[in-house]
Structure 1
Amino acid sequence: MDDLDKLKGAWKKQDYSKHKVSSNEIYKMLHAKSSSYVKWIFYISIAEFVLMNSIMFFRDMDKDMAFYKKIGLYGFISVSSYATFAVVIGFIYAFYKNYRSIKVDSNAKLLMANILKTRKTVKYYIYFNVGAMTILMGIMFYYIFSNPNSIALYKEISNIPQDFDSNTFLIFVVVFTAALIGVVLLIYRVIYGILLRRLNRNYKELEQLES
């Protein structure tokens, strides 16, 4: 049993003596925990951003860009990358603002409103990341596999023999991409899901205090 559960138990059993546990004490505990959860959401989003961008250092980006230029996707990839970068930065800033707002909340209603706002922001963030990944990869692979020359070039940079069946290669790419998106969703569900569930629990506790 954690400190919050102990406070709740004492609050329910109190005899309204001078030593009673006030709802304000429970609010302070919920406020501290909620602020901590939102702070972790902010930190994790930064870590995710740094990790995803650091992957570029382990790839031959010049080779990738040369490939995109050859198949006519360089402009699309460049614009999409910068747009995605800007949107993710925007979400990270939103997480920071949510953390600052919750940190200074002065009453239960404001805290409840900001918990809902944070949960909504996280969900939109996940939807955007997974949706952008799915759409961009879908467009890229459609463009590649609709042209025999593009397929040959893609096999070359992927170190796949040219005589490897293109249909089998397409199936492999689709399965691998679906698996990758599934792993990303699972990671989001585990990491952000835990924090969102805890925030939701705090929201319900605050509702009880307000009722």
Structure 2
Amino acid sequence: MSTMDLDQYKKAWDNQPESVEKLTALDIYKMSQSKSTSIVKWIFIIGLLEFAFWIGINYVVTQAGGFEPYERLNLMSFLNYTTYLHYAVILLFLVLFYRNYSAITTIDNTKTLMRKILKTRKTVKWYVYYNIISVIILSIILNILIINTPDGFSLLTGVENTNLTGGKMIAVLIVTQILTIGLMVLILWLIYYLLYGILLKKLNKNYKELSKLEENNE
């Protein structure tokens, strides 16, 4: 019975005699709760793995000297502070993910479960929005700082001699960074769609099934 698709199970429940309707409705609820709990648990696990992944990437880039151009621009203090702040916000979201998981495992009624599902979906969406928006804002601030730094273009790229001067350098830097930011945002969106979008769709499906179940019980 546990392997039966929730839609098929609900259809079978609709055709059950009234004497067993309440029992099967409870079984459907428990199945939906179990699926929702599993999805929210995976959201938390993926969040942890993602956090560890970005810390690892940051360490590798640091060891490989990837931040040396920003050291030449005296921007490392700014980058370090923003990185620590970013990690603190991510940890806050991970705490929220865990709280959502803990809360959803102890729910004993349909309406509360539906409310927790909506809260979980909202938390994940804000997490995705935060990551994408923070990349855009940080990139814009860095570009402003680079433009306002004497010889910022040369210090960043390591190119000492160039035919580009003044406004042309700034124009090239702005266009390059706009393209880079656009590519980064696209990649992030695809990553988050694959990591969290599929799980949120499954969670939304559970919500709709619970909503139908609640309507039938009224």
Task: Tell me the distance in 2 between the aligned counterparts of 1:3 and 1:146.
Answer: 60
What is the Cα deviation at residue 148 of structure 1?
4.5
Counterpart in the other structure of 1:33: 35
What is the Cα deviation at residue 135 of structure 1?
0.2
Task: Tell me the distance in 1 between the aligned counterparts of 2:157 and 2:199.
Answer: 41
Deviations 1:27-47 (A, max 9, x none): 011000000110010011111
Give the 3 Å change call, closer, same or farther, for CA 62–3 of structure 1 in structure 2.
Answer: closer
CA contact (8 A) 1:144 1:150 kept: yes
1:94-173 maps to which residues of 2 (within 5 A)? 94-156=96-158, 162-163=161-162, 165=164, 166=169, 167-173=171-177
Task: Tell me the distance in 2 between the aligned counterparts of 1:108 and 1:210.
Answer: 7
- Find the partner of 1:73 among 49, 72, 75: 75
Percent of aligned positions with the same letter in both sequences? Answer: 37
Q: Establish whether residue 14 from structure 1 lines up as the match of residue 16 from structure 2.
A: yes
What is the Cα deviation at residue 13 of structure 1?
1.1
Give the 3 Å change call, closer, same or farther, for CA 109–138 of structure 1 in structure 2.
Answer: same
CA contact (8 A) 1:38 1:118 kept: yes
CA contact (8 A) 2:36 2:206 kept: yes
What is the Cα deviation at residue 73 of structure 1?
2.6
Q: Establish whether residue 84 from structure 1 lines up as the match of residue 86 from structure 2.
A: yes
Counterpart in the other structure of 1:49: 51
CA contact (8 A) 2:43 2:97 kept: yes
Gaps of at least 5 residues in structure 2 are none
What is the Cα deviation at residue 14 of structure 1?
1.3
Q: 1:194 is paired with a residue of what secondary structure?
A: helix
Give the 3 Å change call, closer, same or farther, for CA 46–162 of structure 1 in structure 2.
Answer: farther
- Find the partner of 1:181 among 180, 185, 198: 185
* One-letter amino acid matched to 1:104: T
Give the 3 Å change call, closer, same or farther, for CA 132–108 of structure 1 in structure 2.
Answer: same
Gaps of at least 5 residues in structure 1 are none
What is the Cα deviation at residue 75 of structure 1?
3.2
Equivalenced residue count is 208
Task: Tell me the distance in 2 between the aligned counterparts of 1:73 and 1:101.
Answer: 42
The TM-score with structure 2 as length reference comes to 0.85
* One-letter amino acid matched to 1:131: I
| Range with greater deviation from structure 2 (53-62 or 91-100) | 53-62
Q: 2:18 is paired with a residue of what secondary structure?
A: coil
| Range with greater deviation from structure 2 (160-169 or 172-181) | 160-169
CA contact (8 A) 1:34 1:199 kept: yes
How much is the aligned-residue C-alpha RMSD, in angstroms? 2.3
The TM-score with structure 1 as length reference comes to 0.88
What is the Cα deviation at residue 76 of structure 1?
2.3
| Range with greater deviation from structure 2 (195-204 or 73-82) | 73-82
Q: 1:22 is paired with a residue of what secondary structure?
A: helix
Task: Tell me the distance in 1 between the aligned counterparts of 2:23 and 2:177.
Answer: 60
What is the Cα deviation at residue 114 of structure 1?
0.7
